[in-house]
Structure 1
Amino acid sequence: MALTIFILRLAISILASPIYLLNLLGLWSWLCKKMFPYLMVRLSVKYNEEMVSKKRELFSNLKEFAGPSGKLSLLELGCGTGANFKFFPPGCSVTCVDPNPNFEKFLIKSIAENRHLQFERFVVAAGENMHQVADGSMDVVVCTLVLCSVENQERILQEVCRVLRPGGAFYFMEHVVAERSTWNYFWQQVLDPVWYLLFDGCNLTRESWKAVEKASFSKLKLQHLQAPVSWELVRPHIYGYAVK
Structure 2
Amino acid sequence: MSLLIRLCTLVVNVFCLPLHLLEAVGLYKIYKHFFPKILYNITKQYNRKMRVNKAELFDQLPEFARPGGQVTLLEIGCGTGANFEFYPPGSKVICTDPNPNFQKYLKTSMDKNDHLVYERFLMLSGEDLSPVRDASVDVVVCTLVLCTVDDVQRTVCEIHRVLKPGGAFFFMEHVVADTSTWMYFLQHVLQPLWYYFGDGCRLPQPTWKYLESAGFSELKIRHIMAPLFYLIKPHITGYAVK
Sort the TM-score into its range (normalised by shorter chain): over 0.9
Structure 1 residue matching 2:131: 3-state secondary structure: coil
Per-residue Cα deviation, 1:102-161 (whole angstroms, up to 9, x for no partner): 111111110001111111110001111111111111110000001111111111111111
The percent identity for this pair of structures is 52
Shift of 1:43: 0.8
Q: Could you say which residue in structure 1 is the equivalent of 2:234?
A: 236
Aligned residue runs from structure 1 range 1-244, under 5 A: 1-28=1-28, 30-229=29-228, 231-244=229-242
Is the contact made by 2:80 and 2:106 (CA closer than 8 Å) also made in structure 1? yes
Structure 1: unaligned runs, 5 residues or longer: none
Structure 2 residue matching 1:136: 3-state secondary structure: coil
| Count of residues in correspondence between the two structures | 242
Structure 2 residue matching 1:90: 3-state secondary structure: coil
One-letter amino acid matched to 2:143: T
Q: State the TM-score, normalized to the length of structure 2.
A: 0.97
Q: Root-mean-square deviation (CA), in Å?
A: 1.1
Shift of 1:81: 0.5
Structure 2: unaligned runs, 5 residues or longer: none
CA distance in 2, matches of 1:158, 1:54: 26
One-letter amino acid matched to 2:21: L
Shift of 1:228: 1.2
One-letter amino acid matched to 1:152: D
Q: State the TM-score, normalized to the length of structure 1.
A: 0.96
Shift of 1:216: 1.5
Per-residue Cα deviation, 1:168-211 (whole angstroms, up to 9, x for no partner): 10000000000011110110111012211221111010100000
One-letter amino acid matched to 1:236: P
One-letter amino acid matched to 2:210: A
One-letter amino acid matched to 2:2: A
Is the contact made by 2:16 and 2:192 (CA closer than 8 Å) also made in structure 1? no
Higher deviation after alignment, 7-16 or 203-212:
7-16
Structure 2 residue matching 1:71: 3-state secondary structure: coil
Shift of 1:6: 2.6
Per-residue Cα deviation, 1:48-73 (whole angstroms, up to 9, x for no partner): 01100000011111111101232111
